[in-house]
Structures are given as C-alpha cells and as structure tokens.
Structure 1
C-alpha cells in the first residue's frame, strides 16, 4: 500500500489531544516549537452551534436523552466514543472483564468528565514506604508541586485549603455552597465521624482570563461548556495556545498506527490512517509525544516493531502494557423521605457534579486493605431525561401503595419524589500488579488494519475488601440520613458491587516510570529509556494510582515533561 509522506518536519508530534496531549501542545507551541497534534476523532468546539448540547431539552433528542453506544453517558453528553466502538474492538483473556473506554474527539475524555481535580499527596508518591505494596515513584510530591501550582492558576479549580497532610492544598477559587441533599449528606457523614469538605473541581466560579467565561450553574458540565467555564483540553489549552500564536497543526480523524524509527532506532515520526479516505500517511518530527491515553499509547508502542525494537518501541524491559490498574468503584443510593414534596420554584442545579466530598479518612493499619478511597455524592434536582425517574416497585414496597401511572398522576408522583434520591460513590486506589496487563492480540485487527489490544486483569482481595468497606460506609451514612435503600446491599457474591476494572476510566501504569530501565519504561521525565526522543504524557507513566482522580496529575506531569523537552531541545540533547 502506498504511504503518503508529509514534507513538513515538525519539532514535535503529539498523539492525542486530551489532558496530557493538550497540555503538551500548549507548552511546546508557546515555547516556539512547531507542533502537530494527531487526534483519532473529529474536531470539537462546544461553542460551535453544530456541536452544542448544553441547555437543550430532552425532547430535542430523538431518544429523549437516552444513552447510545456512541454516547454511553446520554445522548447529550459531550463524549464521542465509549466502551464499545464499532470497528474498534479489543479482546479479553482468562475471564477478564476489563472495560476500555475511549473518547474519540478533540480534547478526548476531558470534554465530559466530572472535573474532580485532586492533587496526589506526599504518601501517594512513596506508598511502598508506608505499607510495603507496589513501588515508589522515582519522584516525590515536592518535584510535582510547582507544576500543580501552575496548573491551578492556569486552568482554575475551586475548593478550600484545609491543611490535610495527604490531600494537598492549592490555589483555589471560591467553591459553591452545598445544596439541600448535600446538607443531608454532611449531617449523616459527620454523625459517623467521616469528614466532609468542599469539592475541588475545575469549573470557574470567578473570572480568571479573557479566554473563558464563568460558570452559570446549569449543572451540565458533562455536555461541555459553550462559554468554556469548565476545563476541557481543547477549550482551555489548545485553543488559547493557538490564539496566543502557538504553531499547532491539527490532524483530526487520524488513527496512529505506529511510531516510525530510523536505522539507529530513534523516532522519526508517526504513521496514521486517515479515517475519511482510509489511506496511510506519515508525519515527520524531531520528537514524538504520546498522550493517547495509557492503553492507547501502550498499543502504539507495542505495534511499533522494528529490527532495532523487536519487542515493540521502548519495550526492552517487557514492561510496556504491564502494571495496568484502574480506580476501584462501588455505589449505593437511597430514598430520603425528608426530601419529598420539595418546592421546585428555584434553581439548585449548581455546577456539573458534587459540591462536597469526603477524602480518605481511615487508618489502613486497622483495616484489611492497604489503600483508601474518597466518597463522591450525587442527588438534587438536575434536568430529568429518559430513564431518570424512580424505581416504581421500590417505592411501592416502601409505601404499600401504587406509585406512578399515566398523565396527571404520573406528573404528580414525579414531582412528589423528584430530588429525594441521594447516592454516593467510592473511588479508590488499587495496587499496581505486573500480572494485570494489556498486550497485542495476535489474531485481531480493527477496521483500519491495526492490531488491537487484549486485556488480562483481575481484582485482588484487597480491592474486594475495600469495596466491602465502601458499602458498609454508604449504608451507615444513608441510614444516618433516614434513607430507605434502593435495592439490596451488594454482597460477597458480586464482590460487594465492585465495578469491573476499566469502568471507572482511570486506567494508569502501562508505561510506568522508574530509575531502572529493566523494570520501567520511562525515566522520571517520562522519556523512554530506550529512545530519547519519545515521551509519554498521559497516565501510562504513573507508578501507582491514588485515592484521587488522576487528571490533575496528568496535567502537572505533562507540563513538567514538556518543559523538559523544550530545555533538552535547546541544549541539543535530543
């Protein structure tokens, strides 16, 4: 097949346009480098009328907002992609139930996420020293703190400084006040001595620059904000960089097949398939930066085989794809009778997500699992859509009467119970293990002819024990709130409701960093040990996860790695 070569030689080619790729594009282009950003999905700008879903009514959707495979979080959600993308399969082995979410669009997953923006703490970088599990990072919190600070100021995050030792303070915008269901949660949690603090989320509650507007509390951040008040990589990193004179060429709808190398084994660029004409193209660059997401970047490296790299690019250690791990997750919800019959004459939508949360409070030395979790809270009176309602059978069981029906009765009951369900989710840390991995499936390719990933992943008893602790905690808090539980408490037979790995969409660790090239893929600057002009700026280099969402750390580490790239290019070291 003929391969079409682009004559331009870029200073840097960045694969992926999410948190890591977007930050790298901003840093490198504003430093004067000519940058190509290659994205597997289409161009996306939530300010463009044809891309807007914010503030639309459910009846404007032919499915009344119901989810589809293309938009698994609802028909108005900003994410294009999902766990099951037509023409882009992945496979599983030995009973694995790993679920791989991919968001194919400019800005990637950052268009729809909950924007929970937490720093990793000092213990999170050196947790082996605390409990003996996993490995320490080759860097410390002090190495990353200056970049966390810069990210806070550049992007904006609301919250409060609380002086918590492993939940570091930052530079915060004013947080929104708790809503009624969150006031109930605060009372219930504190009755059990579980702390509650204002959430730390990347939505602008006050003006920080002229490129972005301020949150107007529509509660629809998952739809991507047309005034750019919430953080997405396209609107907050790539577009401002272009506006400030950054040289960024966007290659959208382009699926990267591999990193190309020369006779010395150094990277010369990437090959990609254009999804529109199905032809293969080559881009040339001095540096290649992979920010395609932890598993996608591992896939690209493993598919980049050559005489110099027979095991895949950067894989002399045979560690690429290994140590894959995702956040743990379990959930519970209850009906709160005291929240019935609420007046709906006011707007309490708030920001798109929780206004308060509980960071990890437990003493693991007294528990049967080594790492913690935080609690996310949901509820309130956001815009209903298809399937929003309540479980009629559950309510009939509670009240011994018939709930629901048609017409006026249905409307009356919906208003009566609307906003009276509160739920909570635990999101915790799992242990990185070498035996959890992704690899290239030897017999399966996607519709573009690119070999796909095959997953091998199982939860350990530690994660299962952690999920049990979550369920016990949820039950205690919801009982304190006077709740009537929705459904039975998940038991041992279903791992206490522990979600399948990958379902929480926090996968990390596939190209882990370390000082020893025999046991890691990148060095502490996310530079391949084997090839000095290839860097990885997504969550792949994470040595371990934490009991926090990983996006803020991806952003900080990408900024750090990108500034290092600029410095090394100036010194002609790469």
Structure 2
C-alpha cells in the first residue's frame, strides 16, 4: 500500500488532544515550536452553534437525553464509548475490563466530572508508606510547582484546609452546598466523616478574557459553550493557536505506530485517515504520546522494528504491565426530608458536586491498604428521559406506589423529584504486574491495526475496600433519615465493585522509574530506550492514589514539556 509521507518536519508531534496532549500543545507552541496534534476523532468546539449541546432540552437530542445506546447520555459532547464500532478489544478468560475510548478533539476532558484533586505526599511514596506497590521516582515537592501553575492557568474552586494528603492550592471561591448536600453534611458529621468544598475546575470568577464564568446550568458534562469549565480544546489548544504558536491539527487520524530510523530513534508517526482510509506519515524531531494509558501502550507495542523487536520502549517488557483503574462502588437512598420541595431559586449549581469527603480512615486498622474519597450526587438538575427514580426501588424499599400516568405521575414527580441522594466511592487499587494489556496476535481493528487484549483481576484489597464503602453508605443513608433504594451488594457481588476500567481512570501502562529494567519512562516522562519519545498521559503513573488523575496528568505534562523545551534548545534530542 502506498503511504503518503509529509515533507514537513515538525519540532514535535503530539498524539492525542486530551489533558496531557492539550497541555503539551500549549506549552510547546507557546515556546515557539512547530507542533502537529494528531487526534483519532473529529474536531469539536463546545461553542460551535452546530455542535453545541449545552442549554438544550432533552427532546432536542436524537435519543431524548437517554443513554440507551451511548454512555453519558444522548448528547454529542461524548463521541466515544466502552465499545467503539470497528475498534474491538479482547479479554483473557475471566477478565471483564471496560476500556473507554474518546474520539474527539479534547478527548475525555469534554465530558469528565472535573474533580481536580492533587496527589499528596503519601501518594507518591506508596511502598514506603505501607509496603505495597512501588514508590514514584519523584515526590510531591517535584510536582507541586506544576500543580500551582495548573491551578492558576486553568482555574479550580475550593478551599485551603491544611490536609496532609489533600494538599492546598490556589482556589477560586467555591459554590455553597445545595440542600441535598446540607443533608449529607449532617449525616456525615454523625459518623465522623469530614466534608469539604469540592475542588472542581469550573470558573466561579473571571480569570481571563477568553473564558466566561459559570452560570449554574449544571450541564458541565456537555462541555461549556462559554468555556467556563476545563476542556483541553477550549482552555489549552485553542489558546495555543491564538498565542502565535504554530499548531496544526490532524483530526480523524488513527495512529498506527511511531516510526524509527536505523539508529532506533523516532522519526515521526504513521496514521490511517478515517476520511479516505489511506495511510500517512508525519515527521518530527520529538514524538509525544498522549493517547491515553492503554492507547499509548498499544502504539508502542505495535511500533516494532529491527532495533525494537519487542515494541518501542519495551526492552524491559514492562509496556502494558501494571495497568490499574480506580475502584468504584455506589449506593443511593430516598430522603423523606427532601420530598415536597418548593424550588424558587436556581439550585442546579455547577456540574457535579459542591462538597466531597477525602479519605478519613486509618488503613493500619483496616483490611485494605489504601483509601477512597466520597462523591455526592442528587438535587434538582434538568430531568430527561428515564429520570428521577426506579419505581421498583421506591415500591420495594420505601413502601410507596409511584409512577403511573397523567396526573398521578405529575404529582409524584413534584413530590419526590430531588429526594434521592447518592454516593460514589472512588478508591486506590494496588498496581500489580499481573494486570496488563498486550497485543492480541489474531485480531485487528477496521484500520488493520492489531488490537489490545486485557488481563485484569481485582484483589481482595479492592473487594474489602468496596465493602467498607457499602457499609459507610448504608450508615450515611441511615443518618440522613433515608431508606436505601436497592439491596446492599454482598460478597457474591464483590460488594458492588465496578468492573476495572469502568471509572475511566486507567493508569500505569508505561510506568516511570529510575531503573530501565523495571520501568518504561524516566522521571521526566521520557522513554528510557528512545530519548526523543515522551508519554504525557496517565501511562507513566506508578500508582493512582484515591484521587482523580486529571490534575496530575496536567502537572506532569507541563513538567515534561519544560524538559522537552530545555532539551530541544540545547539540541540534546
């Protein structure tokens, strides 16, 4: 097959346009480098009136706002799923890994929860802390300056609380708790669970002329048309284009491999255009992979050559190993005190929670080594198809007959809508070498690219953690005077522990370390084997922590970008 090769040589090619790719684009373009961004999905701008989904009624969606055939509902801010047509992945027997692929400019940052937590000092030193997993080759102090920069550049609301492992930052004013969150605060207080204002990347205050301020529509999951929330396209890539940096974006471009020369050094990437199904090659001095932890691992493993017979950067045979995701288990209850509400003000608030609970437990007294935080949901957000409650749950556990048709349905909606409060635990799993992804030798996607095969099992540590979540949620619902909406999952259901991958926090496939025999990248996210290839997604994470990973992806990408700038200027790479 004829491959069309570009004559232009870019300073840097960045594969992927989410958090890590967007930050690298901004920093490298602002430094004056010629940057090519290669994205597997189409162009997306949440302010575009054609693709804009914010402030629309559910009936304006092709699916009436119901997520029956697409995760995250029927809105077009999420072009991707755990199952993408023509792009399969396979599983080892006994594995049920759910792999989310986002196919759009800005990637997952268009529809994520925007929970923007820093990792703390303990999170970088897991083995020192409790003997499990490994320590990072860097510390919190190495990353803190970049967390500070990310806070100031992007904006995050919250409060400084002096917590040991949930570090303070530079925060915008947080919104006040809504009514269901006030009930949660009171319930948590009875159990001794701390509650603090959430740390979320939505602007509650003007920070520059390019972005608006949140106006409490509660639809951040659709991506913000006034750029008040953080999405990589609107907050990083578009500003990089405006600042004078030379940025060329290649959309609908599925990267097959990183190309190399006779010395084994990277020369660029090869990609398949989804528009014409032809293969193209781009050239660059430096290649930055930011395609997501599993996608970047797949690209490296498919980048085989005489110099790299085991895949690019894989002399250690570690690429794809130590894959792990956040744990997740949830529960919800009906709170009688929240029924028959009269709402005369906008209680939608920012998209997601206004308060959260960081980990409060002492793991030395528990049967699992790492903690979790509690996310809270509820309130009076815009209803859509299938909204409100599960009538079966109401009837069985609350002793009510709700639903029906006509006036009785309308009366029940007015009485009970907003009376459900839910909790999600998001915790840290231990990174284990035996959890991994690899290339399936017999299966390719619609572009002829070999696909990933997953091998992943939860351990008793994660199951015990999920049990603790469920016990906690049960107590919280009781403290709030509520009744659970479903039966508490038991041991036979792994205590409600969601399948790995389902929280969409997968990390660790190209872990960083000082020893090239046991890691893939060094402390600057640079491949040990090839000095002009960097990984700036969550692949280099040594451990996940009990926090969402986006803020750390952004900070490490900025740190790696500074290193790339320095090395290019010194002509070392």
TM-score, scaled relative to structure 1: 0.99
Going from structure 1 to structure 2, the CA distance change for 1:400 and 1:199 (only over 3 Å counts) comes to closer
Residue 51 of structure 1 deviates from its aligned partner by 1.0
Question: What is the rounded CA distance, in whole Å, between the counterparts of 1:397 and 1:312 in structure 2?
Answer: 55
Cα offset, 1:62, TM superposition: 3.3
Q: Which piece of structure 1 moves more, 389-398 or 548-557?
A: 389-398
Equivalent position of 2:427 in the other structure:
428
Provide the residue aligned with 1:319 in structure 2: 318
Aligned-pair CA distance for 1:68: 4.5
The change in CA–CA distance for 1:250 and 1:68 in structure 2 (over 3 A counts) is farther
Residue range with higher mean Cα deviation, 54-63 or 429-438: 54-63
Equivalent position SS for 2:171: coil
Report the Cα distance in structure 1 between the residues aligned to 2:317 and 2:554, rounded to whole angstroms: 27
Instruction: Tell me, yes or no, if structure 1 residue 90 matches structure 2 residue 89.
Output: yes
Q: How does 1:536-555 map to 2 (within 5 A)?
A: 536-555=535-554
1:402 to partner: Cα distance: 2.8
1:262-277 paired onto structure 2 within 5 Å: 262-277=261-276
How many Å apart are 1:67 and its aligned residue?
1.2
Q: Distance in 1 between matches of 2:400 and 2:378?
A: 24
**Contact between 2:397 and 2:486, CA under 8 Å: does it hold in 1?**
no
- Structure 1 partner of 2:65: 65
What SS class does the counterpart of residue 348 from structure 1 fall into? coil
Aligned mates of 2:507, 2:58 — CA distance in 1: 35
Q: Deviation at 1:346? A: 2.1
- Equivalent-residue separation in structure 2 for 1:508 and 1:447 (angstroms): 26
Q: CA deviation at 1:60?
A: 1.2
CA displacement 1:114-145 (0-9 Å, x = unmatched): 00000000000011101000000000000000
- Equivalent in the alignment of 2:286: 287
1:46 aligns with 2:59: no
Corresponding residue SS for 2:50: helix
Query: Match of 2:167?
Result: 168
> 1:392 Cα deviation (Å)?
1.6
RMSD of the alignment, in Å? 0.8
| Contact 2:398-2:483 within 8 A present in 1 as well | no
Q: What CA distance in whole angstroms lies between the structure 2 residues aligned with 1:193 and 1:106?
A: 43
Residue 331 of structure 1 and its aligned partner are, at CA, apart by: 0.1
Count of paired positions: 573
**1:511 offset after TM fit, Å?**
0.1
User: Aligned residue for 2:436?
Assistant: 437
**Unaligned residue ranges in structure 1 (runs of 5+):** none
Task: Give the equivalent residue in structure 1 for 2:564.
Answer: 565
Residue aligning to 1:16: 16
Deviation at 1:252, TM superposition (A): 0.2
Q: Distance in 2 between the 1:99 and 1:394 partners?
A: 27
> What does 1:86-165 align with in structure 2 at a 5 Å threshold?
86-165=85-164
Matches within 5 A, 1:234-383: 234-383=233-382
Taking a change above 3 Å as real, the CA distance of residues 68 and 406 of structure 1, as seen in their structure-2 partners, is closer
Task: Report if the CA contact (8 A) 1:77-1:112 is conserved.
Answer: no
Contact 1:77 1:222 in 2 (8 A): no
Query: Which residue of 1 is the match for residue 25 of structure 2?
Result: 25
Cα distance per residue 1:337-380 (max 9 Å; x no partner): 11000013322000000000000000000000000000000000
8 Å Cα contact 2:397-2:484 kept in structure 1: no
Alpha-carbon offset, residue 61 of structure 1: 2.0
* Distance in 2 (alpha carbons) for counterparts of 1:534 and 1:390: 49
- Describe the superposition over 1:528-557 as per-residue Cα deviations: whole angstroms up to 9, x where unpaired: 000000000000000111000000000000
Q: 1:79 Cα shift?
A: 1.4
Trace 1:409-420 onto structure 2 (pairs within 5 A): 409-420=408-419
- How far does the alpha carbon of each residue in 1:485-509 deviate from its partner, in whole angstroms, 9 at most, with x for none? 1110010001000000000000000
* CA-CA distance at 1:314 after TM superposition: 0.1
| CA shift for structure 1 position 77 | 5.4
Maintained 8 Å contact 2:218/2:352: yes
* Mapped partners of 2:395, 2:129: distance in 1: 49
Q: Helix, strand or coil for the counterpart of 1:50?
A: coil
Paired position in structure 1 for 2:389: 390
SS of 1:314 mapped into structure 2:
coil
**Contact 1:294–1:540, Cα closer than 8 Å, also in 2:** yes
Post-superposition shift, 1:399? 5.4
Q: Return the offset for 1:184.
A: 0.2
Which digits, 9 at most, give the CA deviation of each residue in 1:220-263, with x for residues without a partner? 00000000000000000000111111110000000000000000
Q: Say if 2:513 is the partner of 1:514.
A: yes
Aligned equivalents of 1:160 and 1:416: distance in 2? Answer: 35
CA contact (8 A) 2:51 2:76 kept: no
The whole-number CA distance in structure 2 between the counterparts of 1:520 and 1:390 is 47
Shift of 1:94: 2.3
CA distance in 2, matches of 1:59, 1:345: 24
CA contact (8 A) 1:328 1:430 kept: yes
Segments of 4+ in structure 1 off by > 4 A?
Answer: 398-401
3-state SS of 1:427 partner: strand
User: How much has 1:400 moved relative to structure 2?
Assistant: 4.3
Residues 465-484 of structure 1 aligned to structure 2 (within 5 Å): 465-484=464-483
**By how many angstroms is 1:397 displaced?**
3.3
Cα distance, 1:59 vs structure 2: 1.4
Q: Call closer, same or farther: CA 1:507–1:213 in 2, change over 3 Å.
A: same
Q: In structure 1, what is the equivalent of residue 187 of structure 2?
A: 188
User: Which runs of 5 or more structure 2 residues have no equivalent in the other structure?
Assistant: none
More deviation, 547-556/338-347: 338-347
Provide TM-score, normalisation by structure 2. 0.99
Equivalents in 2 of 1:392, 1:279: separation in Å? 51
- Quote the Cα distance in structure 2 between the aligned partners of 1:82 and 1:66: 15
SS of residue paired to 1:51: coil
